[in-house]
Amino acid sequence: MGSFIPPINFSWVEEDLYRSGVPNELNYPFLEKLNLRKVLYLSPDELPPQFLNFLDDHDIELVPVGWDSDQTPWMPISEEVVLAALDVILDTENYPLHVMCNLGRHRTGTVIGCLRKLQQWNLTSVLEEYRRYVGGKVRLLNEQFIELFDVDLVRIPENPPAWL
């Protein structure tokens, strides 16, 4: 019997929606069990060729969401990138969907935090979830971005996920 090891910072977000950092080869058997349709990738870093091969071998579509090349890694991702990511997340045609960035901390945490605001979670719960994945590396600018994110800018599809 094979072992099933989830990627770093893996978690279930909602039904058929997952988050994590970039997986390595030990995580591939685990990912196979998720029957993913798409991977939403939020990082400017190139993905390992082995992971790209895994996606290709399993007919999983990679959806890279823009990265501002003028942006420094310690700055929050832009509102434009978050809105583009939420467009992908709110389209149930993309499910099962896996959201990831390099370590599944800051970019993924910011996008999921903005999703939680859209779900009308209270800010304390949103920030607690963000902090759970960043450990001791909290970025106050990301927390401020989440707090000030205007959910009225999000385009809600005709058939949103049931959990929205």
**Tokens at residue 6, please?**
């989830």
CATH number for the domain spanning 74: value is 3.90.190.10
The predicted pLDDT at position 45 comes to: 85
Q: How many domains does the chain have?
A: 1
Q: Is there a domain that residue 32 lies in? A: yes
- pLDDT for residue 34 is more than 80: yes
Q: Is there a domain that residue 120 lies in? A: no
Catalytic-role residue among 101, 126, 127, 154:
101
**Tokens at residue 85, please?**
């990511």
H-helix or E-strand containing 21? strand 17-21
Q: Is there a domain that residue 99 lies in? A: yes
Q: Is there a domain that residue 132 lies in? A: no
Looking at beta carbons, which pairs linking 122-129 to residues 24 or more positions away fall under 8 Å?
123/147
Q: Is there a domain that residue 47 lies in? A: yes
The predicted pLDDT at position 77 comes to: 86
Q: Is there a domain that residue 74 lies in? A: yes
- CB atoms under 10 Å from CB of 76, counted, come to 20
How do residues 57-114 score in pLDDT, each as one tens digit? Answer: 999 999 999 665 555 655 668 999 999 999 999 999 999 999 999 999 999 999 999 9
Q: What percent of the chain is modeled with pLDDT above 70?
A: 92
Range of the domain at 46: 11-105
Q: Is there a domain that residue 162 lies in? A: no
Average pLDDT over the chain, rounded to whole?
A: 93
The predicted pLDDT at position 106 comes to: 93
Indicate if 101 belongs to the active site: yes
H-helix or E-strand containing 99? strand 97-101
- pLDDT for residue 37 is more than 60: yes
The predicted pLDDT at position 44 comes to: 85
The predicted pLDDT at position 58 comes to: 98
Q: Is there a domain that residue 148 lies in? A: no
The predicted pLDDT at position 3 comes to: 83
